[in-house]
A = this chain, B = another copy of it.
């Protein structure tokens, strides 16, 4: 009897577990889920899944658990993956994660191959579904003989329209620290029409693109840190435009830029006396001194914000001018800003989130010579009580890949990310059945 070992039962493992429980029923597999907090596991598993208390620092326990498993899925923080991978190598077990492939794991490739194992990383949402949905179209365009001239790809995790009660049209649906530090300290690098472009952090949120996603409305996108590494990843050498970015609702970036320009997203130093600082004092510490002007007036003057600008509602709604304590000890500006934002942007028990992904492929049709623009997009609305679209889209690809591997429908040996047909075709097919569908739209531009 095959046993799936899941290490870590945090936010993103809820749908992974429920999906694998259904699969396990059909295929008669056993599932064991370990987390350092038993409560966290218990509220996510159903009979007959086995829950246990797990401590990654306990190497004996790790070896014992891996030994009795057939396949290991690590949902632990990414820094622990190499530890789990070592235990898998020792015990000849295959392993899956939704995290970026680390150099440590890349170095294990030969041993993984020699032992006939399968290590698959980056099989979540982003990285994960982004790789698979993009590579499927890229390969199709190439197999049809067309010439790819541009690839752009944007992903976003936002609040769903039905739970959207704020002028930013945003809530934290994932790690808030990563959201506050997005792009910091820069620059963003990408290639456009054959030229490498650099956007410094201080301009990042001013150089945005707009796009419509059918059924989900209008979005804007700012550039991710490093699009250049995807040239090698996706074998796009010679493609003149490669650009990846993050999706937000229109207006977000212009308002966020105020925090960037203030210096409120800096994570390089600790502010004095942050423990006793109020929201208002935090903002004021970045503004010029004036004997009588209010903090509000100074901020609006410094950034030339008109009285009727929507930025005013956005900033005031966040409570950045309040006399509430920030409640952060020895905080960097970014840490303090995160604490202020958490008070307003926390996804509540009854809130629903939303995941959107949008790709654009430009190519020259090999028969007509026409320039074609093809977009492919996907959107998912989550459910309440932690059944988020984020947990769904991170967990399902992992669960599907695990099931396919245990069914011998993926027969690969080595260290992989899901950019090859043998992985992305069956995973995407199963995702489609589960409602994660990409819609394509073609615009032909005649010469």
On A, residues with C-beta under 8 Å from B are 185-187, 192-193, 195-203, 207, 260-263, 266, 268-269, 271-273, 284-289, 291, 333
Q: Which residues of B contact A260 (CB under 8 A)?
A: 202
Chain B residues with Cβ below 8 Å from A199 are 263, 286
Residue of B nearest to A272 (CB): B196
Q: Is the CB of B266 within 8 A of A203?
A: no
Which residues of B have CB within 8 Å of A262? 200, 203
Interface centre among A186, A199, A200 (most CB of B within 10 A): A200
User: 6 tightest CB-CB pairs across the interface, nearest first?
Assistant: A200-B263, A202-B202, A192-B289, A193-B289, A187-B263, A196-B272
- Please name the residue on chain B nearest to A265 by beta carbon: B200
Cβ contact within 8 Å between A285 and B200: no
| Whole-angstrom CA separation of A288 from B196 in the bound complex | 10
Known contacts A185-B185, A268-B185: A263-B203 contact under CB 8 Å = yes
Quick check: B289 and A197 within 8 Å, CB to CB? yes
Given the known inter-chain contacts A186-B266, A187-B269, A263-B187, please indicate yes or no for A289 contacting B200, CB distance below 8 A.
no
Interface centre among A197, A198, A207, A284 (most CB of B within 10 A): A198
Q: Once bound together, how far apart are the Cα atoms of A284 and B197, in whole Å?
A: 8
Residues of B within 8 A of A198 (CB): 263, 271, 285-286, 333
- Please, which residues of chain B bring their CB within 8 A of the CB of A333? 198
- Contact partner of A288 among B185, B207, B284, B285, CB < 8 A? B207
Which residues of B have CB within 8 Å of A269? 187
User: What 4 additional pairs, Cβ within 8 angstroms, besides A186-B266, A198-B286, A201-B263?
Assistant: A185-B268, A196-B273, A198-B271, A200-B263
Name the B residues within 8 Å of A266 (CB-CB): 186-187, 200
Q: Are A195 and B285 in contact (CB under 8 A)?
A: yes
Interface pairs (6), CB distance under 8 Å? A197-B286, A197-B288, A198-B271, A198-B285, A200-B262, A201-B263
**A195 partner, pick from B201, B203, B284, beta carbons under 8 A:** B284
On chain B, the residues within 8 Å of A287 by CB distance are 197
Residues of B within 8 Å of A268, CB to CB, are: 185
Smallest CB separation, A101 vs chain B (Å): 22
The docked-state distance in angstroms from the alpha carbon of A288 to that of B193 is 11
Q: Which residue from B186, B197, B286 sits with its C-beta under 8 Å from A200?
A: B286
Residue of B nearest to A240 (CB): B289
CA distance A272 to B197 in the complex (A): 10
Contacts of A185 in B (CB 8 A): 185, 268
Return the chain B residue nearest A333 by Cβ: B198
A203/B261 in contact, CB under 8 A: yes
Tell me whether A261 and B200 are in contact (CB under 8 A).
Answer: yes
